[in-house]
Every structure is written in C-alpha cells, then in structure tokens.
Structure 1
C-alpha cells in the first residue's frame, strides 16, 4: 500500500489510513478531532502509537466478523455502517509497563474493514513479515514443574500457553513427575528427536533449569576435563588418552572413544579458559551442520548434536521460590515477560562452567563427578 494507504477502522480511534513499510505498519487517523479528547480503547496499551514495528509484533490473527468500537462517547458512520459488525483482524504487540519498565505487556490493535479479502490479504502480508524474523523459535520442548513455588508452575504455564499458541510456536509439554525427570529425558533423547526443537524451556525455578542444562550437556559436551590436580594420575590407559585429538587451535577435544578420559598432566592443552567451555569457533565445530534446518549431506544419517552451538537455546519462565537466574537476566520476575522474550527469540550470552569433582585417589576405579553451572554475561 502506497500513498494514502488503505482505509481501515481502528478500534478506539476510528478511520485510519494504513501504510505498510519495510519495517512496520503506519496509520494516520482521518478524523483526529473525534479521538483527540478520548482515551484509547486499545487493550492494555498505555499510549497510542501511530506506527507498529514488525520487531514488536508477536502475532497476527484473522478474527470472525464482529463489532469494532469507535472513539469513546461517539457514534459515527464508517464504511457505510454505524459502528457495528465488520470483518476484523488483530495485531498483537508488546509494550513496556509504565510502573515497571523492565516488564513487557502484551496488547493488541483491532482493525476492521467491510471487505473480508482486504483483511485476509493484510494478515497474510503481516504474517510473512513476522516470519522473516529468523531468531524466533518455531518448536520448543517445555518442562513444567507442578510443585515448584507452591504450585505456581502449572498456573504460570496455563497463563502463558495462549501466547505461544497465538504466536504459532509449537510446544511439546512435559509435566515432571519426579526429581531428575527432565535430566533423564534430555540425557536419553536421540539426536534425531532433539534436532526437531529450537530449544528447551523450563517452567519452574533454578533447580529445574539446572536439571535441563546437565541433561543436555552431560552426554553431548565434547570438551575435555580440566587438567588433573597435581599428584593425581589419569583414569584409563595410554591408548585411550591418545584418543584426544588436536584441532589445530591448541585446544584438545576428545574423540568418541575418549570422552570420559582425563588429560595427562603434561598435556599441551591450553587451559586459559578452563573450566569455561569454549565457543563454537574455538573448538572447531561446524555450526551449519548442527542446524536442524540444514539437510545432512550423507543421506539419512543424522549429525550428532553437540554443544556449544548457535541455534539451540534455553529459556526459563520463573515459577520457583527464588528465580535467581531470571532476576539476573531480565530483571523482572514475571512469567509473561519471560514468555514474550522467548517467543521473540531474544538472547543473552550464557557462560557454562564445567565443575569436576576428582577421584579420591589415583588408583580409584571411578570416573570423576561432572556437573555444569551457568552464569550470564553482561
């Protein structure tokens, strides 16, 4: 739509000229005198804006024919009808709360037109523009802790689930039944199944997030152990230790036969960044081969999923007793804010530390205990 744009009816405002640009939708009231002294009826919107950025839109819905209210305390005739039934569509956006600036609030613009094809065409165009936002997830695995925070897990998921449905984000929901349920599920899931998802979401507290993190990494992280403490031998034979290969960047990574073998003390492995895991570039991972949208070049063979990589993400919807991870990232202990950030694919850098508890003696025939802990880089 160029020039004056298409004339639509906007709820709470009246007739507007709508124009689509490369980064959003703009509208200009045709009768500003009717709405200049009245409050906007746009749901939950604290301030009327005359431009909607695609980056702030999380969903567009084609609605059934129904009423669209005009400006408050006015009765006007629009498009041949007196403020009555018309074909409608809703544009769902986010705005900032005035009382809590770090909190996101969902709101909607309700548009109407007498022609159903006009509404349908606009919805298709807007949906295509939103789908061009590449970082937004399409498929998520969701773990819900039903007992955390005095039962807030299920309540919070019931509250935010409609947001994911409206945004066309597919979710596979698993209600945890015991401690370690999320860990066992992710540790045992096949790479083929895991690659169907863009990420995993925890609806719970810090403990559930920790379960998910360790379930993903304990069986898939290919980074070797930190150097053995002085005076300790390494577990396994010399042949297994030779299973470590050098990737040309002075970072040794284990082969599949030597994942659980510790490096000898005299190894030339650089430990400048230990115990933090290296980035995808520093360990020589081919990120494109790990992307679920990239077809394998070897027919039906599914590339293994290893970490770190650029496409998989972790999310958390706060429902625990402390929610320290969420407070340190979003600054707001609000389930709706976290859900919207996940839907938009917003990211923050995540440092993962490998915590190793060594054997009690060099001769002990047990592997060290390995756990992973997360902190967020600012």
Structure 2
C-alpha cells in the first residue's frame, strides 16, 4: 500500500468521528475535529525511525524556542526553507540514498516511546485551507525522505496553540518542546493500547503495528496486528 500521508491519534479519531456525520458534508470535519479536540485523548505507543547520515539534517536554532529545548532532527528556520515547486532543484537532483534495509550494518535506529496526541508522516507539505503551509512547509517529494511528526501528550492549551500555528500562514507548528520532527526514510510503529486508528489519505485504517518507508516518492506501508 502506498500513500502521500498517514496520520494517527487525533487525525485518526477525526476521520473516524466524521464518518458518523456524512450528511453534514465537508462541515463534518470541523464538527468532528472540535469534538475530538475537546476529548484530548492520547495514546501509548513506540516509534522507531531510521536516522539519516550526519550532515543530512537541519535543526532549529536556540532563539525562538518555546517551552524548552526542542526534540528535532530536521526543521530548518524560515530563512533556510526551500519550497518544493515545479522543476524543484532539490527534487531534480534525485536522492542517491540506498533503500533503508539494503545495508543493515550501516543503519541506526532511534526510538521514541510514550503517550502521543498524534503521529503524522508525509512526503509532501500537504498544503490546504486549514494548513496553508502544510504539515511541513519545506517537504520535498523526491528527496527520498518522509517527515515524521510526533506530538507528545501536553496540556490542552498548548495543543491548541500548536493547531493555531498550523492553521496560520507563516506559523511555526513544529517549534514546541512537545513536538518531535524527524526526516527519515523509514519508521516502525507499535501501539500499546486496544485502539489503533489511522487516517491514510483520508481513509480509516486500523493496525496495531506497521512499518513504513519511502518508495518512489510515496509512503510504502506494511501493517500487522489484530485489527488489520
């Protein structure tokens, strides 16, 4: 299975809740989103992601950080952002990166475990009216990487601030200490709970375990678990 974006937690709950109100048309997403936000549910899970080579990532500088040190491995500041457009120089170079598992002796995996409000992965920015800059403003379709965004459990007000920044043109939704942003060619996910609902390109999908990697500009997904 191949997708442009996959989302878990908040976004999986929104797409599931919205199915109850299809008669409302597109407005059902705002209604469902409000209901899910007010519940403020987080989920226990473990994510492992493949680290990219040293020098292939950017980090947000110390200035302007919110609520402590960011846990990030791939978020350039505004002056360093290169937007992916037609004939993009970065995409035209085409990544020479080997497939994630072609050289297992050279791979290094990092892990993040805890309670998450949402988990998102995308190969493009996914700009839309609710997120004018997209999930990640400088995402590139053909650089061989996906953007993994982990939103850890946090107070309601801070999560609202994050969503407000996401909805604002020129905002910084990744610039919070409870947000992890990683550029990676592959990751794995394992749920610790009984519920595990994903939003795959707008469709509901259930899986307790899955692995994902970039393949020909898309997220290639392999899932397992009792709910598949």
TM-score bracket for the superposition, by shorter chain length = under 0.3
> Relative contact order (C-alpha < 8 Å, sep 6+): which is higher?
2
**Bigger radius of gyration:** 1
Q: TM-score scaled by structure 1?
A: 0.18
**Higher share in strand:** 2
